[in-house]
Structure 1
């Protein structure tokens, strides 16, 4: 007698496996949030590496560049050779490069170590989500993805606070060493508990597609970063972006002609898929660009320590922990269009609030804005991720995960680069009239950024107070312009969700009895193995 239609095809240990995968994910999130509060210490020539503003940007961007460029490739390799193998490989690489980052002796060494961390992180992130899609029944998948997304909030909450504590008691490199014990535990747990899964019929490997995706994504992210550093009017920036566009167009043309493409580009004609992908990119553009400059606002303009800054950013993480696991239930009740548009609206409202933040704004109000932004992103991300993953069959879960995470990284990089270039341009323009009396050797340093202004002011003694006041005023004005730009992106995101995302969630049907029984038997065999 066949299994009833309501048979759950999920792995018997699926919830334990989810907990293990969350540990793997938290390490990646933790590292990036910790680095945000450590930037000022790393720039200190006595207690850090004496990193310049450009060095600090590349310490962040070298990771982003490699991470975004390889996400899609690791997803394809995981589907073909085994997701658990790729996850373990990524965790080992991430741990070794964390050690290298902690003991870097120069900004250049830190940048190289961070790029190696990007290789490991790019293997970890899509593997965790694709394994979730394979060990959970489609009817439980949305809830599992909501919990997975909520764990991002856990990393965001723990990272700044833990980083602040470490920076107050140890040297700057300690913020990278916290990854190591977590990874050791994670590697043991993954080896013991997580089953292997792969595409049973992968076909021939799409070498051309993989190579074109790496080249195109690396050029795209590099062009974005370069434009943010030097302005998009420079040939190196727009030329690289044009080259990226040409390579990615070639990738699309190649994929359309293949029998076994790495990515079926026809998926983008599906509103559920394309609307979800666009909403992910837009919300991260608006959200990540804002969080980047708010860290400088809190530590420099408001004078909070790294630990205090971490505590002040916890409302963002708390909102993610509260709302992301509940997003699946909200989608079932109200539909992805309503939930996604509501989340985008909350993010946009928080960004409007940041336009009004000044030097004396009540700090509790800043905390409320963080909470609204975190809640909005928590309502956008899980439904969008579920829409992307549900469009693809289980055997292509790695590709689906990689597409969503690649768009997220590109959107975040664009946000930091474009909003950062707006911030820099306005800041430099506002500071020009206050630097005439400074020696030529330090004038450009003070003009470059608010952290540079503070460094120069510290060398001037009492005379530096007026320079700090001018720098604060210029930074607040620049922050308002950048926040206004993010508001426009948030409004565009609302339009995209309302126009493209379906009103109702996809209907999940129970598997056919024979198929359910066969899959359950396979998973039990994996569990016993």
Structure 2
């Protein structure tokens, strides 16, 4: 029997595990320029270094959330941390861009094991007021680590090497595995039903195709082919972009997944997703809100590091320090959420958080210019981070509050997938807004100067294709063009921020369908206690 404090020590370890994947998903943004210089990778490879992780991560979340319920949540978490640590070593040692992309794919596999396992362990271990505090800590970790990642990556990249941005995962992984065996309880769903492999394959096809289409639409064209993809000697033979075909595959995969799952559920067999969960209003409506909110949340983290380094001229470490304001805001919010989580309806805390996010992003958008002072950006990021700290944890709690413990892996996997699909959509849409706005603005600004058309096209393509990395090099070439490029990238970053605020506003509206009544008791309901009987006793 573990001590009463063991579950809180375990929560620290679980939060550290979440930190691994959150830091890794943000750390690459500030390390990309060094990776380009060292490995000589192309702009297409740059894109895949950043996005291959997200693609695999989102595609596998649902499957591993279900597997965690079957084989043991702590066991899968240990396996995930091991894979993540091993692939981090390989990524740190990569000597070509293609190898780095491949190892990022392996990291995505490990990350997809970690995230739903941490959620389901919390859902199975904590009750009542303790659960509200645990979710607050978990959510604040996500918000805080999204900012700590650039700081850590900036420091390692500036003073050591981008390779240490991956290598740092190894010692943390060892500490996490030891801590899990010391303090985290094992739990699993009772029964010996086999895993639905067909459903797993269909879920991977559907989610993977959808995320791929959302991410690559800007590259290949949403309808007509802008860039012709090729694999070896084979080249895409149609004028139609492959993206509509990919979306069709995603749709057919989704239809097949639902039809197959309903068929197995009616036959009394195990399914990848308990479709009955969607009859729970809090789960159904909460997932919709989570997807929309995630769409707006991740766009600013994509664009700000690029703007800070390429327009304001900050190095990787200085960029991390500015974005640290987001982490500070998130950790401040954790105390608020933990203190008031059982006095105020969680839904109202979610709404307050989303509103703070909107205000923070609008502040950032209003102050962005080619000569903005860093502290103005930091103010907006602090408010934005405060909102993330409130909304993320409480929204997770709202989604899972009525989900039976024995299905917590399926529930957490579903809501995590919803968020990842939302973030992938945000990367696609807000990335398109960012770079399209930069191109349009730069063309207009260059048209005001006597720049030849051929030269203008080269400059616009260089700035957009390099995600702004070409801007610093323009200073020695022509001061006027350099100023135009900086102003244009500021315009694009500003438009992207306002678009993110708009999507968050839709997310706020989506929360209106959630039950906003204040909890009547901090104790679990009878139905929750019945569901919890399948879990091991609390420490």
> TM-score w.r.t. structure 2 length?
0.88
Asked if the contact 2:26/2:149 (under 8 Å) is kept, the reply is: yes
Once residues 359 and 133 of structure 1 are traced to their aligned partners in structure 2, the CA distance between those partners, rounded to angstroms, is: 46
Once residues 231 and 372 of structure 1 are traced to their aligned partners in structure 2, the CA distance between those partners, rounded to angstroms, is: 36
Deviations 1:9-36 (A, max 9, x none): 9966211111121221111112222212
Larger mean CA deviation between 427-436 and 111-120 belongs to 427-436
Deviations 1:75-134 (A, max 9, x none): 111100111211111111101110111111121111111111000011011111111122
Q: Which residues of 2 match residues 76-225 of structure 1 at below 5 A?
A: 76-201=66-191, 203-225=193-215
Q: Which residues of 2 match residues 259-274 of structure 1 at below 5 A?
A: 259=268, 260-274=270-284
Q: Which residues of 2 match residues 54-65 of structure 1 at below 5 A?
A: 54-65=44-55
Question: Which residue of structure 2 lines up, in the alignment, with residue 29 of structure 1?
Answer: 22
1:281 is displaced (CA, Å) by: 1.6
Asked if the contact 1:26/1:152 (under 8 Å) is kept, the reply is: yes
Question: Which residue of structure 1 lines up, in the alignment, with residue 231 of structure 2?
Answer: none
1:309 is displaced (CA, Å) by: 0.6
1:451 is displaced (CA, Å) by: 2.5
CA 1:97 to 1:429, structure 2 compared with 1: closer, same or farther past 3 Å?
A: same
Question: Which residue of structure 2 lines up, in the alignment, with residue 50 of structure 1?
Answer: 40
Larger mean CA deviation between 74-83 and 223-232 belongs to 223-232
Deviations 1:215-261 (A, max 9, x none): 11100100101113333234312221232122112222332331333
Question: Which residue of structure 1 lines up, in the alignment, with residue 311 of structure 2?
Answer: 301
Asked if the contact 2:143/2:388 (under 8 Å) is kept, the reply is: no
1:135 is displaced (CA, Å) by: 1.8
Once residues 397 and 250 of structure 2 are traced to their aligned partners in structure 1, the CA distance between those partners, rounded to angstroms, is: 28
CA 1:231 to 1:463, structure 2 compared with 1: closer, same or farther past 3 Å?
A: same
Once residues 224 and 301 of structure 1 are traced to their aligned partners in structure 2, the CA distance between those partners, rounded to angstroms, is: 27
Asked if the contact 1:231/1:421 (under 8 Å) is kept, the reply is: no
Question: Which residue of structure 1 lines up, in the alignment, with residue 401 of structure 2?
Answer: 390
Larger mean CA deviation between 64-73 and 480-489 belongs to 480-489
CA 1:243 to 1:455, structure 2 compared with 1: closer, same or farther past 3 Å?
A: farther
Deviations 1:433-492 (A, max 9, x none): 63635398777334534525327637xxx3243332121121122222222322221111
Once residues 443 and 476 of structure 1 are traced to their aligned partners in structure 2, the CA distance between those partners, rounded to angstroms, is: 14
Residue segments in structure 1 that go unaligned for 5+ positions in a row: 1-8
Asked if the contact 1:10/1:135 (under 8 Å) is kept, the reply is: no
Q: Which residues of 2 match residues 324-473 of structure 1 at below 5 A?
A: 324-356=334-366, 357-432=368-443, 434=446, 436=453, 438=455, 444-454=461-471, 457=474, 462-473=476-487
CA 1:504 to 1:211, structure 2 compared with 1: closer, same or farther past 3 Å?
A: farther
* Residue of structure 1 aligned with 2:504, choices 490, 499, 514: 490
Question: Which residue of structure 2 lines up, in the alignment, with residue 5 of structure 1?
Answer: none
Q: Which residues of 2 match residues 232-247 of structure 1 at below 5 A?
A: 232-234=222-224, 235-247=241-253
Once residues 450 and 246 of structure 1 are traced to their aligned partners in structure 2, the CA distance between those partners, rounded to angstroms, is: 34
SS state at 1:334 partner = coil
1:384 is displaced (CA, Å) by: 1.2
1:332 is displaced (CA, Å) by: 2.5
Residue segments in structure 2 that go unaligned for 5+ positions in a row: 225-240
Question: Which residue of structure 2 lines up, in the alignment, with residue 20 of structure 1?
Answer: 13
Asked if the contact 2:328/2:382 (under 8 Å) is kept, the reply is: yes
Asked if the contact 2:333/2:390 (under 8 Å) is kept, the reply is: yes
Larger mean CA deviation between 153-162 and 398-407 belongs to 153-162
CA 1:253 to 1:108, structure 2 compared with 1: closer, same or farther past 3 Å?
A: same
Once residues 471 and 25 of structure 1 are traced to their aligned partners in structure 2, the CA distance between those partners, rounded to angstroms, is: 38
* Residue of structure 2 aligned with 1:256, choices 248, 259, 262: 262
Larger mean CA deviation between 104-113 and 443-452 belongs to 443-452
**Is it true that 1:504 corresponds to 2:514 in the alignment?**
no
Asked if the contact 1:10/1:520 (under 8 Å) is kept, the reply is: no
Asked if the contact 1:287/1:373 (under 8 Å) is kept, the reply is: no
Once residues 133 and 292 of structure 1 are traced to their aligned partners in structure 2, the CA distance between those partners, rounded to angstroms, is: 31
